[in-house]
Chain A
Amino acid sequence: MSGSKSAPKLIEGFFRHEYGKLIAVLVRRVGAQHFDLVEDSVQSALMTGLESWTLTGLPESPSAWLYKVAANNLLGTLRQDTGREKILLKHAEEALFSLETTPEHFSVNELQDDMLRMLFVCCNDTVPIESQLVFALKSLCGFTIHEIAHHLFISEANVYKRFSRARNSLQQHSLKSWELDQTEYTTRLPAVSNVLYLIFTEGFLSVNHEFSIRQELCREAMWLTTMLVNNKIGQTPETFALLALMYFHMARMNSRQDSSGGLLLLEQQDRSLWDRQKIQIGLTWLEKSASGNTFSRYHAEAGIAAEHCLAPSFSETRWEQIVENYLFLEQASPSAIYRLNRAVAVAEWQGPESGLSVLQGFESPSWLIGSYLWSAVLADLHRRCGHIELAENYRDLAIMSAPTQALKTLLQNRFNTNK
């Protein structure tokens, strides 16, 4: 019997994403007050699926199969609670098994609607952003508390605390307020985009994790963002720009580390390793984002990433375009990090003295002065201006305050090769 179905293949992330789908669909049907029961039912349905499919092969529709098992589990648990009123049970049973809610009738769109709805419900002002982020990773992407702690480099207790806040806030919403109106979708879209952006940058910028773990976070962010732009509510120039930005960054992912895992500077990266196909897709989204009259931070950041992707070499980069985008970002939300980046771009464009002058008389917040980035940029600019002593001071500061060994090594290499 073993050969009856030849090596069944499931798409990558199948179990995790089914988890997210089922949570969203079931919570929508029985109400967020049963969130914990839903989680248990889904977890147990996945386990049953795993056990059963390894023996007998995959059913025709694994998703529908899982839905039935999870819904039955859930109903069973609800029945066990003797205190529950009959009328509520009947409501749950109808919601789970009435003809039009059977999985055969689900469309891909409906499933994604439910998942996005859950994300939008969670992304409200009363939930701190770091809780929204953890909630998305757990309830939509199907990571466990333990895995999220590993991904974000924080303690499990911390992850749990963050998750509970989001879940408690959801539970306070009755079934009715789970339905958002168009205005709420519109007003919450920036918060949703921001969470997706944060998941992506956690993966992309974090220097604490191994390569594959970081990439996983980026892929999840792109999966959710793609879901968002495939839905009417997410089809705005901002979300298109956000997705473009993600594609451009992902295209360069493989060249950011050398063969031994050390980080490489943009200047040292082998541009032939960049993923042309991803750059192309990014450009398509960037083009789509150039409509309407908004130019968001995602537009500016996607614009910068596109300039890097399209430049034939480091020296042939259109630095003036990059400077312009950083200027926009600074004006939109004054942040020292944008200023610092602009200084770097100006130095490449008009020389190190001009770069330094961007930072002159600038009051940097203390967190940035203490960060290795600030010192590293100043060390570099002063060295190129011939201010040897200043350069050495900043170099030592930078290496000292770099948070990881990979970064310390990167900085040491950078300053050694430039001696």
Chain B
Amino acid sequence: MSKKNYLCIMRSPSQTSVKREAPSPAQMEEMFAKFNAWKEQFKDNIVDMGGKLGDGRVVTTEGVTDGPFMETKEIAGGYMVVAATSMEEAVNVAEQSPGVFPGSSVEVREINIP
């Protein structure tokens, strides 16, 4: 079965609404191990680990404005590209990601290239 690519956009609540406590060094070690285990498990699916998203601009015919864009409560903080045979499979990869913590979400969109 041929695979399609999916764009995963990570969103988290803006800093002011939920204050997350910084992880301790011991917890970081655990997170690092979990992340690597996840990457290993889904290495055939992960096309591009992507990265963090910085500030941005919105370009319209009216001109250019600063972000944030539609949302004020949530910030799109990162993205990655996942290859999967179905939306379900892509969702599963995103679901298992240790980067998804309480209050955050991942939006999974199929990338349609004609």
Contacts and interface: CB of A to CB of B under 8 A. Distances in A.
Interface of A: 1-3, 7-8, 10, 12-16, 18-19, 43, 46-47, 50-51, 53-56, 142-144, 146-147
User: Which of the listed residues A13, A19, A54 has the most CB atoms from chain B within 10 Å of its own CB?
Assistant: A54
Interface residues of B, number: 21
Contact of B28 (A3, A12, A15, A55): A15
A15 B26 contact: yes
A107 to B, nearest CB: 23
B28 A144 contact: no
Contacts of B28: 15, 46-47, 50
Do most interface residues of chain A lie in helix, strand or loop, or is the interface mixed?
helix
B49 A2 contact: yes
A90 B6 CA distance: 50
A7 B38 CA distance: 10
Interface in B22-56: 22-26, 28-29, 31-32, 35-36, 39-40, 43, 46, 48-52
A142 B40 contact: no
Contact of B50 (A3, A12, A55): A55
B29 A2 contact: no
User: Which of the listed residues B26, B39, B46 has the most CB atoms from chain A within 10 Å of its own CB?
Assistant: B26
B49 A50 contact: no
A143 B26 contact: yes
Given A1-B48, A56-B49, A16 B32 contact: no
B54 to A, nearest CB: 13
A16 B29 contact: yes
Given A55-B51, A56-B49, A50 B24 contact: no
Contacts of A56: 49
Nearest to A142: B25
Nearest to B48: A1
Name the 4 nearest CB pairs between A and B, nearest first: A15-B25, A144-B24, A16-B25, A142-B25
A7 B35 CA distance: 10
A147 B51 contact: no
A47 B43 contact: no
Given A10-B32, A50-B28, A50-B32, 13 more contacts: A1-B48, A2-B39, A3-B43, A7-B40, A14-B29, A16-B26, A16-B29, A47-B23, A47-B28, A54-B31, A55-B51, A56-B49, A147-B24
B22 to A, nearest CB: 6
A326 to B, nearest CB: 38
A3 B32 CA distance: 16
A21 to B, nearest CB: 11
B36 A18 contact: no
B46 A15 contact: no
Contacts of A7: 36, 39-40
28 contacts: A1-B48, A1-B49, A2-B39, A2-B43, A7-B39, A10-B29, A14-B29, A15-B26, A15-B29, A15-B32, A16-B25, A43-B22, A47-B28, A50-B28, A51-B52, A54-B31, A54-B32, A54-B35, A54-B99, A55-B50, A55-B51, A142-B25, A142-B26, A143-B25, A144-B24, A144-B25, A147-B24, A147-B26
